[in-house]
Amino acid sequence: MIRGIRGATTASENTVQSVLSSAEELYKKMAADNQIVPEKVSSVLVTVTKDLDAAFPAKALRELTGWNHVPVMCMAEIDVPGALQKCIRVMMHVETDLNQNEVQHVYLKGASVLRPDLTNSRQESSPLTE
């Protein structure tokens, strides 16, 4: 079964290092939490908010061992007033035996407010959930 696995994180600043290290951390956590191997990934979609233009976060994924042949595309997130800034969002399409409720969606750093219902975080819900 192909399942969508969501993830999001925030970069501390709009620099190449911050964007790439934040994206790499997210990709690794998504893969580890869901036992993902590159060969089982159909594609990866990545969006960034308009305030992150220092680097393509897809570059961090392509540089991980075994991921260089996985199709990945970056695009701009819609600019909703009041939305979380410096945010990187990911949707991985993965072949997995996990049931829908077993998939571990990953929300790191400031992005943990986006879907508190899907994280282990005990933070309060935000009016900016997706």
pLDDT tens digits for 39-78?
999 999 999 999 999 999 999 999 999 999 999 999 999 9
- Give the model's confidence band at 120: pLDDT under 50 very low, under 70 low, under 90 confident, else very high: low
| Residues with catalytic function | 6, 62, 74, 77, 89, 107, 115
Mean pLDDT of the chain: 91
Q: Where are the alpha helices (DSSP H) in the chain?
A: 16-33, 58-62
* Poorest-pLDDT segment among 1-5, 99-103, 124-128: 124-128
d(CA 2, CA 82): 33
Residue-range domains of the chain with CATH: 2-118 (3.30.1330.40)
For residue 22, the surrounding DSSP H or E stretch is helix 16-33
